Amino acid sequence: MNHDLKNFFNRKRLKLSLYFMLCTALAVCVIVLFFLSQTEAGQRMSSEKDDFLFLSESFPFSVHFIDVGCGDSILIRTKDDNILIDSGPYSAQGITSHYLGKLGIDKIDLFIASHTDSDHIGDFADIADKITIEKVWTSRYCIKNKKDMTEDEHIFFDTVSSKNIVLEYPDICSYKLGDIFLEVLSPMKKSKSNNENSLVIMLRWKSFSFLFTGDAGKESEKLLLGTYSDLHADVLKAGHHGSNSGTTEAFLHAVNPDCTVISAGEENNDLPSRNCTERIEKCGSQILRTDIDGTVVIISDGEKLTYLCENETK
């Protein structure tokens, strides 16, 4: 009897052991399959991002409004040249250089610092350390005595000097770079506001035009309206991240853009201003926002403009 009981309990223990081993094996399989599915999903997501990123390479012209939070960083690509307007803030360190690297860009022919506020030049040193920059433009009215410079301004000008980059303060006129024209429209005089000292540039490629305004506001817009009879642009970069200090109704009426891009960040809930977006909507312009749409890329084959967004294709 004792022998039979021992055999009975041994058989029970064996069954329990086999059952435990089977459950463990099934659990391991489930975990492995889960991680494989997550990896595949991540690869698909990465592939989708790469598809978005590399789609522009098959077109002769593209403009990339890189999502750097509440700051500006705009890449302009043609078949021969790369132009970068602003770098984004230091808090976005590495975002622009990583973006350029993924596109295989190792040289910037022209870097344009619209003005010298931190959210426009803060990440310049990182970019210059990783990518060759041939020439820099900035506004002559942003020049300051060294003692009056911010830390980011010191780093910006020191980097330009240490890298032996050509530094120019462009005049109000038109410049040809490859197959595009850059028309410097402003600033026409020095302002107490560094934002109003921003370079305002009209880019023309074939029949298309883009107006880049930096952080220029009402003061600059009034001077532009009084100076130029034709300010129309297919695409407008809203001034100062869509704040209420610019992108006035009169200016929008003159520019009459099909699309207005606002470079803003979720970290600043005050931008863009609702008053500003309402004015843009009222003029019938499509609004694209980096804080909502992610990086915005506008591509062209010379016949039309196509708008692509990191979070959705328009």
Yes or no: domain 64-309 corresponds to CATH 3.30.420.40: no
Residue 29 predicted with pLDDT over 90: no
pLDDT tens-digit readout, 81-128: 999 999 999 999 999 999 999 999 999 999 999 999 999 999 999 999
Is the Cβ–Cβ distance between 88 and 119 less than 8 Å? yes
pLDDT over threshold 80, residue 6: no
Q: Give phi and psi for 307, each to the nearest 5.
A: -100, 125
Domain boundaries, the chain: 1-58, 64-309
Other Cβ atoms less than 10 A from the Cβ of 178: the count is 12
Strands (DSSP E) along 107-154, which ranges? 107-108, 110-113, 132-133, 135-138
∠ CA 107-113-119, nearest 5°, is 110
CA 110, CA 104: separation in Å to the nearest integer?
17
Mind listing the pLDDT tens digit for each residue in 39-75? Answer: 443 333 344 556 667 788 889 999 999 999 999 999 9
- Sorted by sequence, the CB contacts under 8 Å of residue 176 that are 6+ apart come out as 182
Tell me what pLDDT residue 312 has.
75
Which sign, positive or negative, has the C-alpha torsion 247, 289, 119, 97? negative
